[in-house]
Amino acid sequence: MVKDEEIYLGGKVLFKSGKAIFLSFSAPLESKEDIFYLSRGLKISIGSTKAKLIKLAINLVRRTARSRGRRKGRGIGRAIDFKIPRAKNFKVSIVPTLRRVAIFGHWPKIRWEDLREPLLEGRERISIIIVLDSSASMVHSMTEIKSALEAIKKEALRYRDRVSLIVCKGSRASIVQHPTTNFNLVIGKLSKVGMSDFTPLASGMYKGYLLALNEMRRGYTPVIVIISDGNVNVPMPRRFRSVQRCADPAVQSVLEVAEIIARTHISTVIINTKHREIEYGNVINIRKSYSSDVIHLPTGTEVLMQVAKITKGNYVGLA
């Protein structure tokens, strides 16, 4: 049996069931514990809906980006949870530390393994930039996407976070909704997005990148959420300086834009609405392709996972 780390090319499997998979290509997430501390209350189980997993992925990146915001000084912010300390010097979260001591019954002695560190959420405002593939195959995923946005709306409004919508349709992408704090506007427009046989995902990602730069200038921390099945078929009209990764120009364009996003360290979430398991017989060939930075005849899942790997983002695969 092939290990998950081999199949998913270095992405850490944070959650996996028959219906979905959640991978992290982000270096700061060092263990499975981190994701569950950050998502307390969002209990992930085999019976969970796809919308809950989308919500979890977006909230994880939002909270991580907020706690590391550029304008936030170290130690500033309110404690939203706690975690196991990993550094030698850290601030002790008193209540969860004493709670653990009480549970294990060795009060008043406090052991090193009892110590807990507060997880701080800063004052940074987040701008969620949704890049939506509107190909015909996406029609059955709209309900989950809208439910996820409804779920994060309340917390986002409390922090005055913004949301925008870019639709990849026809020969090019367009900004359907510029950044706004009114989540209802975006949720309403999701219901009116028409479907197309063409998927200019690279164009949508590049527009999302430009919009993210503009939001950064306005003082927001951007998070790009790419929602697609990975079956791209419209390349960018021009090439960016990059190595040749794929013979398919549409896929090559997507990977080139992913490299541009990676250079600016913008947080990303990639949601694959048609995830397919990689077959055992293909694993070796896929690993060789990635090791030489060239992908031959990639599937939609391989394309989106490579985008997640390049941008060091989170990947949600919905079966």
| Strand ranges in 243-313 using DSSP code E only, listed in sequence order | 267-272
Long-range pairs for 4-13: beta carbons < 8 A, 24 or more residues apart: 6/283, 6/287, 7/278, 7/283, 8/278, 8/305, 9/286, 9/287, 9/290, 9/305, 9/306, 9/309, 10/309, 11/305, 11/308, 11/309, 11/315
Q: Which residue type, as a one-letter code, is found at position 278?
A: I
Take residue 66 and report the two structure tokens written for it: 């907020």
CA dihedral 131, 134, 138, 140 (to 10 degrees): 100
| Domains, the chain, ordered by start | 4-74+124-318 (3.40.50.410), 78-120 (no CATH)
Token pair 């110590």 in the structure block, residue: 115
Take residue 306 and report the two structure tokens written for it: 């490579």
CA gap 303, 272 in Å, rounded? 10
Residue 233, CA distances (Å) to 101, 176, 253 in order = 57, 21, 10
CB of 224 closer than 8 Å to CB of 267 = yes
pTM comes to: 0.73
3-class SS shares of the chain: helix, strand, coil, % to 5: 40, 20, 40
Q: Which residue type, as a one-letter code, is found at position 3?
A: K
Q: Which string of DSSP letters, residue by residue, matches 16-69?
A: E-SSEEEEE--TT--SHHHHHHHTTT----TT--HHHHHHHHHHHHHHHHHHT-
Take residue 270 and report the two structure tokens written for it: 């990639």
Q: What is the pLDDT along the chain (319 residues), one digit of tens a residue?
A: 334 444 456 678 777 777 788 888 875 544 444 455 444 444 444 445 677 778 878 877 887 776 665 444 344 456 667 778 877 677 888 888 888 888 888 888 888 888 888 876 556 789 999 999 887 767 777 788 888 888 888 778 878 899 999 999 888 899 999 999 999 999 888 878 777 778 899 999 999 999 999 999 888 899 999 999 888 988 888 877 767 778 888 999 999 999 999 999 999 999 998 888 764 434 333 344 444 444 456 888 889 999 999 999 999 888 7
pLDDT of residue 38: 45
Token pair 């870019």 in the structure block, residue: 166
The gap from C-alpha 281 to its chain's centroid, in whole angstroms, comes to 28
CA gap 61, 63 in Å, rounded? 6
pLDDT of residue 27: 54
CB of 301 closer than 8 Å to CB of 275 = yes
pLDDT of residue 182: 92
Token pair 């009892």 in the structure block, residue: 114
**Residues in CB range of 181: below 8 A, 6 or more apart:** 156, 157, 160, 161, 162, 163
pLDDT tens profile 104-135: 888 888 888 888 888 765 567 899 999 998 87
Burial of 89 (0-12, 13-18, 19+ CB in 10 A): exposed
pLDDT of residue 207: 96
CB atoms under 10 Å from CB of 195, counted, come to 13
pLDDT tens profile 262-279: 999 999 999 998 888 764
CA gap 172, 180 in Å, rounded? 23
